[in-house]
Amino acid sequence: MSRMTPFSSPLLLGFDAMEKTLERLAKTGDSYPPYNIERLSGTDGKTERLRITLAVAGFAESDLDVTTEENQLVVRGRQTDDTEREFLHRGIAARQFQRCFVLADGMRVIAAELKNGLLSIDLDRPESERLVRKINISVKD
């Protein structure tokens, strides 16, 4: 028996990647580091802007890596263990993380800033042009 998915309609063509992305999102369960996503009003009032803020206390700029890979925003953090220090109690662990956000088509990262232990990443989606194109029909005898 085949599994029915929202994208199994014959009228939805080319949405295979979207279906795989939704399946991948359903499998993620890591909640570190905590984050906020907020909608910001654009300067012109039309452009949609978003800000993702991650709590990365203890991470320096050199410990963080922000990249876009295809339609994903990937934030990685890697702290190195300081072996020269002797801890009597260690409640703050040097951790690694990778947090992925799936971006819609046209979304772009415009800035990333680290301030007071918070990494803020600003994104926008410029208004796309409406493209109407006439397709010529060829007739073969």
CA distances from 136 to 35, 58, 78, 113, 133 (A): 49, 60, 54, 49, 10
Contact 73, 95 (CB under 8 A): no
pLDDT band at 46 (very low <50, low <70, confident <90, very high): low
DSSP, collapsed to helix, strand or coil, labels residue 86 as coil
Per residue in 2-40, is it b (16+ CB within 10 Å) or e — as a string?
Answer: eeeeeeeeeeeeeeeeeeeeeeeeeeeeeeebebeeeee
pLDDT value of position 140: 87
Q: What is the pLDDT of residues 47-91, one digit of tens each?
A: 678 999 999 998 999 999 999 988 889 999 998 777 788 888 888
Average pLDDT score over the chain:
83
pLDDT value of position 80: 79
